[in-house]
Amino acid sequence: MKVLVVGSGGREYSIGLALQRDPAVEKIWFAPGNGATDELGENLSIKEHRELAAFAKEEGIDLTIVGPEAPLVEGIVDIFKEEGLTIFGPSAQAAQLEGSKIFMKNFLARHGIPTARYLETDSFEKASAFIDTLEAPIVVKADGLCAGKGVIIAPSREEAREAAQGMLSGESFGEAGSRIVVEEFLDGYELSVFAICDGKDYVVLPAAQDHKRLLNGDKGPNTGGMGAYAPTPLVNESIYRELDERVIRPTLEGMEKEGMPFTGVLFMGVMVVEGEPYILEYNVRFGDPECEVLMPLLKSPASELFYKAATGRLSEASIEFYDRYAVGVVMASKNYPYRSSEPAEIIIDEIHHEELARNSHISFAGVSRGEDGKLYATGGRVLVCVGLGESIREARDRAYMLVGQVHFAGKQCRTDIAYQALEA
Ligand code: AMP
Ligand code: GLY
C-alpha cells in the first residue's frame, strides 16, 4: 500500500513510524513533512490541495491520512474524494465540530451530550448578562480556529467581560472572535479520548492525558502540549461506558442524521467532574503529543485501521492494542511558546543500553535538515521522547532516560510528565 501523510509535526512522524513497521506499506510520502520524516519516506513540497490530489492520483497512492485540522477545515477530504481517492479524515462540513465552537456546542445541546452550560453570542450586552449568572472563574472562547489560543479562563466576572470585549471587537483574534461562547467553568481532571470513526462504527483508543501547560505542576502558559501518556488510570469502565453511550454514539448518529457522517479521528476533550465525563471540546484529528504515545500502542497494522475507517469498513477490522504504557516528553526550543528561537544543532547520544533502545524512540517535530545533513531544532516543539513499559513508571523512566541522550542549545522540557497517574 502507498500512503500519503499530510502534516509536518511529531504527530505525523509518529503515524509514519506506525506505517513503517506495517509490512503492508510499501512507501510513505509526507506533505510537507519535516527534517526527519525524509528518513521514513519522501517529503513533498506541494501545498495546494488540488495539486496534492493530482499527485496522489498519478502515483497511485492508496490511502491519504490527514494530521492537522487546517487542511480538514479547508476541505482537503472533499477534494480528494471528488478525485475518487481514499482519504482518512472528516469532510469540511463535519470538521466544523472543531472549526466552530458554536457549531460544536449547539450540536452537543441538540443531541443531549453532556457539556458545560453556555451562551453563544455576538453581542457584548448578552455576554455580559450571562456572565452575571455564572460564578468565576468563567470561560470565554472565540468561535473560530485560533491555533489553540482562543480560550480564556477569566478569574473574575470583570476579566471575563474584558475577554469577551477583546474578542468581539476583533482585537484579540480577528474574525475568529466575532462570535463567542461564554461558559461555566468545569472543575475536574482532563482526559483526551480518541475514537477512530468510519461514519457509523468506531474504535476507541486507550485514553490519554496531555500536559498543556509549559511548566511543572501545570503552571505557566498554555502550549500545544508538553507531554502525554496512555493509557491513563484516571479513566475507568464506567467513564468509558458513559463516553460510549452518552457521547460517541449520539455524536456519530447525530452527524449521520444531520447529513454529515463523521469519518476520521473524533478527539474528545473530556473533563471528568465527580466521576462524570463532560465534553469540553471536539477536535477532528489526533492530538499532538497524544498521537505520539498512542501510535506505539497500536498492535494491529496501522494501514488496516486507517484504510478500513476511510472506506466505511471498520466493522470488519479487529483492532488490538498492546497491553503496555507509553509516556511522551516534549523537548521544546528555548523561547517556546513565546517566540521562535535560533536554530540549534541536535545531537543524540548513541544508546548502548539495549533495553532502553528497544523500548524508547523519538518522534521528530520542529526539526529541519541543514545543508550539512545535520538535524537542527527550528520549531517550537522540537521532538518527543517516547518511553514504553509495563507500567507508567517504567515508561516514564525510559522516556526521561532518552531525554538525557538528546542535546540542543536552549532545550526545555517538563520533568513531571504523567505525575497525576503516578500519584493516583
Ligand atoms: P478547549 O480548546 O475548548 O479545549 O479549551 C482549552 C483548555 O481550556 C481545555 O483543555 C481546558 O483545560 C480549558 N477549558 C476549556 N473549557 C473549560 C471549561 N468549561 N471549564 C474548565 N476548563 C475549561
Ligand atoms: N495536545 C492537544 C491538541 O493537540 O490539541
Report the candidate in 75, 5, 9, 2 with the shortest Cα–Cα distance to residue 284. 75
In terms of pLDDT, which residue wins out, 299 or 222?
299
| Predicted structure pTM score | 0.94
CA 120–ligand 1 middle distance (angstroms): 16
Q: Is 190 a pocket residue for ligand 1 (Cβ < 6 Å)? A: yes
In terms of pLDDT, which residue wins out, 231 or 149?
231
Distance from C-alpha of 397 to C-alpha of 355, rounded to nearest angstrom? 12
In terms of pLDDT, which residue wins out, 99 or 333?
333
What's domain 2-90's architecture?
3-Layer(aba) Sandwich (3.40)
Residue ranges covered by each domain of the chain: 2-90, 123-178, 189-316, 325-423
Question: What is the number of other CB atoms lying within 10 angstroms of the CB of residue 249?
Answer: 15
Mean pLDDT of 39-49: 97
Q: Is 183 a pocket residue for ligand 1 (Cβ < 6 Å)? A: yes
> 43-74 as b/e, with b when 16 or more CB fall inside 10 Å?
bbeeeebeebbeebeeeebbbbbbbbbbbbbe
Nearest atom (ligand 2) to Cα of 285: 4
Cis peptide before 32 (omega within 30 of 0): yes
Task: Determine the pLDDT at residue 423.
Answer: 84
- What residue's CA is closest to ligand 2, atom 2? 287
Q: Is 292 a pocket residue for ligand 2 (Cβ < 6 Å)? A: no
Q: Is 185 a pocket residue for ligand 1 (Cβ < 6 Å)? A: yes
Residue 172: pLDDT band by 50, 70, 90 thresholds?
A: confident
Task: Determine the pLDDT at residue 145.
Answer: 76
Can you name the CATH fold of 325-423? Glycinamide Ribonucleotide Synthetase; Chain A, domain 4 (3.90.600)
- What residue's CA is closest to ligand 2, atom 5? 287
Which ligand ends up closest to the CA of 154?
A: 1
pLDDT digits (tens, 9 = 90+) for 376-406: 999 999 999 999 999 999 999 999 999 999 9
Task: Determine the pLDDT at residue 148.
Answer: 65
Lowest mean pLDDT segment, chosen from 121-125, 140-144, 327-331: 140-144
- What residue's CA is closest to ligand 2, atom 4? 287
pLDDT digits (tens, 9 = 90+) for 405-419: 999 999 999 999 999
Mean pLDDT of 346-369: 97
Class of domain 189-316: alpha beta
Choose the CATH number for 123-178 among 3.30.1490.20, 3.40.50.150, 3.30.70.260, 3.40.930.10. 3.30.1490.20
Regarding beta strands 381-389 and 180-184, do their DSSP bridges make them parallel or antiparallel, or are they unpaired?
Answer: unpaired
